[in-house]
Amino acid sequence: MKEKKNTKLVVILLIVAILIAFVPLFALKGAEFGGSDDAGSEVVAEVDSSYEPWAEPILEKIIGGELPGEVESLLFCLQTGIGVGIIAYCMGRLVERKKLGKEDQDL
């Protein structure tokens, strides 16, 4: 009986997750999903139209143009994955150190 209850809960949660992901795409017709870089550039242009960036991305200099959006997303996801991996590793080490410390005190 408990297994059927858990299955029902999992299905309901999956449906809710799918709705959370897809409803905004259809509810916000004509909305533009831009990044903070674009918004920041627009604000800078409004405040000081004569502003010239003093640096440009290194990869853009190497390849001689702007990276495609898919490659930027891939690099961002890779950077995020590496960061999460490092944080998870450090947290795991701290938890294990705490567990080992408790075991030594119990002896």
Q: Are 91 and 85 in contact (CB under 8 A)?
A: no
Contacts of 11 (CB under 8 A, 6+ apart): none
Rounded to whole angstroms, the Cα distance separating 72 from 60 reads 11
pTM: 0.47
pLDDT band at 1 (very low <50, low <70, confident <90, very high): low
Position 70 scores a pLDDT of: 84
Position 55 scores a pLDDT of: 82
SS3 (DSSP) at 68: coil
Position 2 scores a pLDDT of: 63
Q: Which residue has the higher pLDDT, 77 or 103?
A: 77
Domain boundaries, the chain: 35-67, 69-106
pLDDT (tens digit per residue) in 32-89: 666 676 788 888 888 988 888 888 778 788 888 887 878 888 889 999 999 999 999 9
Measured CA angle at 27 (ends 21, 30), to 5 deg? 110
